[in-house]
Amino acid sequence: GKNVLIVYAHQEPKSLNGSLKRVAVEELSKQGCSVTVSDLYAMQFEPRATRNDIVGFLHNSSEFNYGVEAWEAYKRGSLSKDLIEEQKKVQEADLLIFQFPLYWFSMPAIMKGWMDRVLVQGFAHEFPNCYDSGLLKNKLALFSFTTGGSEEMYAKGGISGDIRYLLWPMQHGIMHFCGVKVLAPHICFAPEYVSEEKRKEMLTAWAQRLKTLWKEEPINCSPDWYFK
């Protein structure tokens, strides 16, 4: 069985995001996968990257540089306990699923904070080991999210532009940078504005996709996929 980590950012378990997360846990567990959920709001995950992330002394106490300090702390095993726990979950995972509502063309702050704090240099990337040679290169990631706007709004000629443009910083700038191969996103458009029936169909479609997920090929992680 494969190991799956779901990083989940929604305040309400009864939301569609909560239901999508639950469906993923159920379906993947049925397949014999070991599924771990980091429920960021329930954990009260700290999104801010601060001095508190480094236990003990600083590499350079005269001028605080978070990136350098986190890198040095990672090397000597002195990152804060919450970060070590999340990194262990990432390390063990074959697949990372990010489940969230789109906020302002991006992920919620609490999830961005997870990216900022967990994916430190030395753990997830270390120049020149980035992109195809990133340190997490044997893993897969999938972004599953809901939008406020309709599918038409996020089409190439739509008012919000092609949804793929928004995925460039998340899928390419974070995941691909760390070497992770990215599966096609799973997007539920405007669930608040559709019928209960349609929302049920969204959950069914997600369950169906999960049944054959391990047979999927990752997307071509090049600018062409996002901007062609």
pTM, full prediction: 0.97
CB 49 within 8 A of CB 116: yes
* pLDDT tens digits, one per residue of 193-219: 999 999 999 999 999 999 999 999 999
Nearest 5 degrees, angle CA 28-CA 34-CA 40? Answer: 85
Q: How far is CA 166 from the centre of its chain?
A: 14
**Interatomic CA distance for residues 162 and 152, integer angstroms:** 9
Q: Which domain holds residue 222?
A: 3-227
> Which residues have a Cβ under 8 Å from the Cβ of 115 and sit 6 or more positions away?
107, 174
At 221 the pLDDT is 87
Average pLDDT score, the chain: 97
Distances (CA, A) of 124 to 67, 108, 118: 12, 21, 8
Which residue is associated with the tokens 């460039």?
Answer: 168
Q: How many domains does the chain have?
A: 1
pLDDT confidence bin for 137, thresholds 50/70/90: very high
pLDDT at 89 over 90: yes
At 126 the pLDDT is 96
What's the average model confidence in pLDDT over 162-169?
A: 97
**Interatomic CA distance for residues 118 and 90, integer angstroms:** 9
Nearest-Å Rg of the Cα atoms of the chain is 18
pLDDT at 228 over 90: no
Q: Which three-class secondary structure state does DSSP give residue 55?
A: coil
* pLDDT tens digits, one per residue of 10-56: 999 999 999 999 999 999 999 999 999 999 999 999 999 999 999 99
At 74 the pLDDT is 98
CATH code for the domain in which residue 94 is found = 3.40.50.360
pLDDT at 134 over 90: yes
